[in-house]
Amino acid sequence: MALREVLQFPDERLRGVAEPIDEITDEIRGLARDMCDVMYDEPGIGLAAPQLGSPVRLIVVDTEWNEEGGDKNPLILVNPEIVEASGTITWTEGCLSVPDFEAEVERAERVRLQARDLDGKEVEIEAEKLQAVCFQHEIDHLDGVLFIDRISRLKRNRYIERRKKQLRREQEEE
Ligand SMILES: [Zn+2]
């Protein structure tokens, strides 16, 4: 089965606010599977539904697995919400929707979040460091926010210029 394509900046669909999920249907379960497939294939450590063009509040995260090993054990979270955040940490972030760019972003060091799992059961998760950063990054996607919105205007504009040039080149080659 072909993997679904990850939308890339500056695609406007990355900028919408995603809708809460009222009912966990087969469609939502299928979307979660597609998201995990894409996340492990890329590979990435997290993905939000809007990145695949589905404007609903669903994220998948796996900060344990990597290409060298570890078990694939994705956290699949429906309507995730950060209910508590503390500390600050600076982390170098990248994003499957923001090609060829990494930058340091300041985030909360620890978060507590509430969500539902795919069975509709309420879950509460406490996370710190990389996992906390990843949750904040993915939940941002649900609100149409990208990590480049959280860096200095100068760095962001530099990236946007580079990206525009890259897209122009790609168009010329077609
Ligand atoms: Zn991202």
Interval 82-107: pLDDT, tens? 999 999 999 999 999 999 999 999 99
Interval 14-45: pLDDT, tens? 999 999 999 999 999 999 999 999 999 999 99
Does the pLDDT of residue 54 top 90, yes or no? yes
138 is catalytic: yes
pLDDT confidence band for 146 (50 / 70 / 90): very high
Write phi, then psi, for 4 (nearest 5 degrees).
-75, 150
Q: How far is the CA of 8 from the centre of ligand 1 (A)?
A: 10
Does the pLDDT of residue 1 top 70, yes or no? no
Does the pLDDT of residue 2 top 90, yes or no? no
CA-based torsion, 113, 115, 119, 122: positive or negative? positive
Q: How far is the CA of 161 from the centre of ligand 1 (A)?
A: 19
Neighbours of ion ligand 1 (CB under 5 A): 95
Report percent pLDDT > 70 for the chain. Answer: 99
Does the pLDDT of residue 6 top 90, yes or no? yes
Catalytic residue among 138, 172, 173, 174: 138
Report residue 95 as tokens: 């994003």
Q: How far is the CA of 162 from the centre of ligand 1 (A)?
A: 19
Q: How far is the CA of 97 from the centre of ligand 1 (A)?
A: 6
Cα distance between residue 111 and residue 159, in whole Å: 29
The arithmetic mean of pLDDT across residues 45-71, rounded, is 92
User: pTM, whole model, 2 decimals?
Assistant: 0.96
Q: How far is the CA of 153 from the centre of ligand 1 (A)?
A: 19
Q: Is the previous residue joined to 74 through a cis bond, with omega within 30 degrees of 0?
A: no
